[in-house]
Structure 1
């Protein structure tokens, strides 16, 4: 009988262990994840999105993967923003002579902008694909989507718009440089001054320069957007 009682006790212990191993932690993890996302929203810490601490990872369980979708996009976004921000020095224009002198650099700027905009678009598409593949509970989905919109969709659109504005400036500056090169006998650059021998060419050059100057406000907004996105990752003001 003592042996039988020992066997029964052993079976009961094993059953308890098995039951403990099968406890579903998803509800608690979901609540923890919702609370974590809400805390990020309330603190305004969505760009950049703070890295999960080890206790947070443990608390949210498998939902850490959903969090990483956003965090991974932001890492790619920051890299693109830093690269595009470095193009800003090239975009500074002071004179027609400056434009002509910097023609190769404007060409390089357009290439760099296109490459980094493509990387940003790829990162956004990857994040969107991952989000579309998720099946989130009804109470979590709206909270997650709110964070996703603010931390992925909105900044991606803002950076793409900034890249477009900068590219337009570089494109139009190249147009001026090409116009001057095409009329090198009639448009002379002397001691920092631009001398045009024909009134019709002067008028055309002025129109091109006016179009370029009209983009100054958009360029400044692009500067601010890229500087904020690039500087935020390193805690810059």
Structure 2
């Protein structure tokens, strides 16, 4: 940290002082800033994270980072986890399907849908590994009790809860995509019996209609599971 570095350089220039005196001065100087830094960090977490309905990730600006001092590294655990999620391959893969609103559009993006479905088990492992790393880093922190209570609550809101929902959403999304792709496969392999117009599937025989209805029921069931989790995510994030 800049102020610590400059303090160390100044102490090193005071060669006339004994090593014991230097040690005492260093200890007192290091301890004097901690209560102020802790108070600033608690205030930041309380006002910018816990008092807000949305589970958003506020950034520490340079002034705030200087004010919280050593505790900026503690906040970096939270922001680091969320950056891992933003940079994860499944996030970009999901984004490519974001504006898909009909079966016809999904048919056009069938390759992307299949790639995402196949990647989601690995994505779940990656989320779990990132959560484990963040949790281990949090556990290893040395924090006074007043800060620990506030930090744990912020970590739960910005890391543990979103990760828990994501670990449910990923397999549910895989099930939904699998159901959609099964329906599209049936349509593709029975071009003389079934056609898609927008989000409507038209069958030309009772047998095809029965099959389509069964596949649509599966799609509906899997989609409902995803919808419930998305509602929980929106409730958490406010979006």
Please indicate, yes or no, whether the TM-score normalized by the shorter chain is above 0.5: yes
Q: Does 1:88 align with 2:98?
A: yes
What is the aligned partner in structure 2 of residue 27 from structure 1? 35
What is the aligned partner in structure 1 of residue 85 from structure 2? 77
Which blocks of at least 5 consecutive residues in structure 1 are unaligned? Answer: 1-9
* Structure 1 residues 118 and 128: CA distance shift in structure 2, 3 A: same
* Structure 1 residues 213 and 42: CA distance shift in structure 2, 3 A: closer
Q: 1: distance between equivalents of 2:67 and 2:215?
A: 59
Q: 2: distance between equivalents of 1:191 and 1:131?
A: 51
* Structure 1 residues 226 and 89: CA distance shift in structure 2, 3 A: farther
RMSD, aligned α-carbons = 3.9
| Helix, strand or coil at the partner of 1:74 | helix
| Helix, strand or coil at the partner of 2:193 | strand
Q: 2: distance between equivalents of 1:48 and 1:69?
A: 15
Which blocks of at least 5 consecutive residues in structure 2 are unaligned? Answer: 1-14
| Helix, strand or coil at the partner of 1:177 | helix
Contact 2:124 2:167 in 1 (8 A): yes
Q: 2: distance between equivalents of 1:79 and 1:191?
A: 35
The number of equivalent residue pairs is: 217
* Structure 1 residues 191 and 13: CA distance shift in structure 2, 3 A: closer
* Structure 1 residues 83 and 20: CA distance shift in structure 2, 3 A: farther
What is the aligned partner in structure 2 of residue 68 from structure 1? 76
Contact 1:163 1:222 in 2 (8 A): no
Q: 2: distance between equivalents of 1:191 and 1:117?
A: 32
Normalising by structure 2, what TM-score? 0.69
Larger Rg: 1
Greater Cα offset, 10-19 or 127-136: 10-19
Normalising by structure 1, what TM-score? 0.69
Greater Cα offset, 45-54 or 145-154: 45-54
